[in-house]
Structure formats: C-alpha cells, structure tokens
Amino acid sequence: MTRTYHNFLTHLECGLTGERHEARRIHGLSKAGKPLLARYDLEAIKSSTDRDAIWARDTGFWKWRELLPVEDTRNVCALGEVDTPLIGLNTLHSPGTVIVKDEGRLPTGSFKARGLALAVAMAKELGLDHLAMPTNGNAGSALSAYASRLGMQTTIVCPDDTPAINIEETELQGAKVYKANGLINACGAWVKAGADKGLWFDLSTLKEPYRIEGKKTMGLELAAQMGWTLPDVIFYPTGGGTGLIGMWKAFDELIKLGWLEKNDLPRMVAVQASGCAPIVRAYDAGVRFATPWEDAHTFAAGIRVPAAIGDFLILDAVRDSGGFAIAVDDAAIEAARKCIAQKEGLLLCPEGAATYAAYLAARENGQVSSGERAVLFNCATGLKYPMPEAGIALNLANPA
C-alpha cells in the first residue's frame, strides 16, 4: 500500500541564478554552488487547500504537508512537535508589543528540529542511509534524534570546544560524534571530503535543499498564530540564516496563496554577536556577499558562524523587507538574558537573548518604535546552556 500525500513540489531552483533542478533527485548545492530552493505548484495548492483546515490539524510543523516536499508518510518522523508559543514580554513592555516565539519547546530543545526533521525525511525518501554534518551544537542532536528514529546512520563532527551537553546528547541519541581540533569551517571541509569519497551524504546547513523548508514552517506558524497577519518587525539570531531565509520564503508563498489578511510584510532584522558579525559587516558595506569573519568568538555558539553559504539570501531578505542587520556584544546578551529571566520568567538561550539586546538597541537608536509589534526568536531552551554559579551556603547545624 502506498501512503502518499498529494504532493505539490514541482522543482528546485538555484537561489542565485534561478536555474531549474529536477525534483525527487538527490541534490546538494546548485550547479552554481549555491543553495537550492524548493518550488511548489502554488496555484494548485491555492485551489485545493484551505488554510484554516490546515491550521485546525494536530499541533506541530508536519501539519503544513501541502507546503512541504515529503511525499510518503512513512518518511515522516514525528517526535511530538508542537506549535511553539508566543509569549509577550508584558512586564517590561506594553502588552502584546514585544513577543517571544519560544522554539525551545520543540523536540531536542531547539528549532534545529524543524530543519533537520525535513532534511532527514527527504534523505530517507531519496534512499540515503548515512548522513554527516559539522555542528556547533543543536543541529547535531536534532539530526541524531530524527535519523536514529528512521533507522539511519549519522556521523557528526564538532569543534572540541562545543558545549559538552550538545556532544553528549548527540551521541546518546545514536550518532558517531567526533570532537575536532579546528573550527566549524574545518569540520565542514572534513565532512565534504568524506562525502566526496562516498562515505555519507553531506547535510551541512543549506548544502541540501530541505532544511529551509523545515525552518519555513516558523513563518507559516507565526502567520496563523497572529490571525493570518504578520508582525511589524522580526528579530532573528543569524548564524547560517536558514530560519530568516525560510521565513521570508514562507511569507512569499503565503502572499501568492492569498492566505494573509493583509500583505504587509515584517522588516527582517538579522541579529549577530559583535565577535562574529559577517552579515552585519556586509549589510553596512552595502554588499551582497559576506567575507568570512576572522577569529570568531561569542558565547552564543549558535550564531558563531564566520561564513554563511546563504549570505546573499539573508542580505536580500533583510534589504527587500526594509529591515537591517545589527550586532550586540556578549555583555549585552548576558544582561538581556538575566533581565528576561528575572522580569518575565523566561529562560532564553544566549542567541535568543541576543535578539532582545538587539531590540533594545534598535529602540534606543530609533530603528524600531514603541508602538510596533516585534517578534523575537528564542531558538533553544535556556536549560542547555551554562548558567552563572548560584546558591548561598547555609549551615543547618548553626543557622544564622
């Protein structure tokens, strides 16, 4: 018995040149060496599919199946995904104006689940059985969890200063994990060399077409949660930029489907750490491609990405939306994390806290005004990250 969804994927398109690539074939980068974007028959979706019926389905990103590339239900791997909540920072700001989308509630504790679930499902559908990837942390555990559940082998390599919890959770969920004495780019080169030798398929960020499709569901979900409208501005902690690119693609598809109440798109803001801000530097210089950042450092490991292969897609989305790119330093990130934890009861990850630090800086310099509705992405549970030492010693034998 075949269990296929009605699938609307028509082809893949080079993000730079637009050159067509055939659907339902194994692809890495485009012929031009750039990320591939999945394209659908949106007219057919529009005439056959009801947005509210989709939204009424069970919670989680698999509900968007008409807008996703997977054909066979047996390749869908579900681990209890949820629609992640929108939580207003209503103690610190006018209620409903500054809203956190808390992605830390997803399987494996980060939004990497969205992208990797789709990448893994498509790898399974296309007959791949061994996947490899370099990671700074959360992507590794998401790949490991989804691939193990589908019975696929995974090899993951991370810089040896990657937080122990990420290395441990990744290995415990089935991956073979290497700790390398080099940075993420060098790890990526090692994965590519193995892929060239035919040892595995390279699932690096944006080097295959489907992670973007998973991250796209953040934009679809956000629109539905806001009554098919979008906020005025979105602050996104930008490493490889998959989520920012994915959401911008989602908004384009929603407009073409006619599913938005108003076609007012948000300004997209790329947030980076001042110790690793290649996209901000390119934005400020007015160029479309970013040069790699030397000596990248920030404790927000998820955005410690010196070179992003989708740089032009990030910068195009930021500029086309009327947004901007902004860097914040580690001290501001730490202060933002503490402030939100103490005033709002939300334990953000450092990357999520960076978006709040950037929001405050943008309010200060007038790039965002108080009446505007801003959405900040918290991409992972704060529980996966080191916290300041705590606790006061209390001697019960001789209480003060």
Ligand X SMILES: *Cc1c(COP(=O)(O)O)cnc(C)c1O
Binding site for ligand X (CB under 6 A): 110, 112, 137-138, 205, 237-243, 302-303, 349, 351, 379-380
CB of 235 to ligand X, least distance (A): 12
- Nearer CB in complex with ligand X: 201/236: 236
Q: Which is nearer to ligand X, 45 or 271 (CB)?
A: 271
Is the Cβ of residue 119 or residue 303 nearer to ligand X in the bound state? Answer: 303
Distance CA 91, CA 331 (A): 22
Smallest distance from ligand X to CB 379, Å: 4
Which CB atom, from 8 or from 251, has the smaller least distance to ligand X?
A: 251
Question: Which residue has its beta carbon closest to ligand X?
Answer: 302
Beginning with the edge strand found earlier in the chain, give each strand of the sheet holding 20-22 in spatial order.
20-22, 9-14, 36-40
Q: Give the nearest distance from C-beta 357 to ligand X in angstroms.
A: 14
- In DSSP terms, 100 is beta-bridged to 87, 376
Distance of closest approach, residue 200 Cβ to ligand X, in angstroms: 21
Minimum distance of ligand X from residue 182's CB (angstroms): 19
Give the shortest CB-57-to-ligand X separation in angstroms.
25
- Tell me the DSSP string of 248-261: HHHHHHHHHHT--S
Query: Residue 65 or residue 384: which is nearer to ligand X going by CB?
Result: 384
Residue 188 or 243: the one with the smaller Cβ distance to ligand X is 243
Which of 42/349 has CB closer to ligand X? Answer: 349
Q: Greatest CA separation found in the chain?
A: 76
Rounded distance between C-alpha atoms, residue 371 and residue 261, angstroms: 20
Residue closer to ligand X by CB (options 213, 351) is 351
CA distance 82 to 176: 28
Give which of 108, 117, 289 is closest to 203, Cα–Cα.
Answer: 117
- What region, left, alpha or beta, does residue 33 occupy, with left being phi > 0 and alpha being psi -120 to 50 degrees? left
DSSP string, 277-336: -HHHHHHHHT-SSPPPPSS---S-GGG--S--TTHHHHHHHHHHTT-EEEEE-HHHHHHH
Residue 6: CB minimum distance to ligand X, A: 29
Alpha helix stretches (DSSP H) within the chain: 42-48, 51-55, 112-125, 138-149, 164-172, 184-196, 211-225, 242-257, 278-285, 311-320, 330-344, 350-364
Torsion angle of C-alpha atoms 185, 191, 196, 198, degrees rounded to 10: -170
Q: Would you say 59 and 81 are in contact if contact means Cβ atoms under 8 Å apart? A: yes
Work out how close the CB of 133 gets to ligand X at its nearest, in angstroms, rounded to a whole number: 12
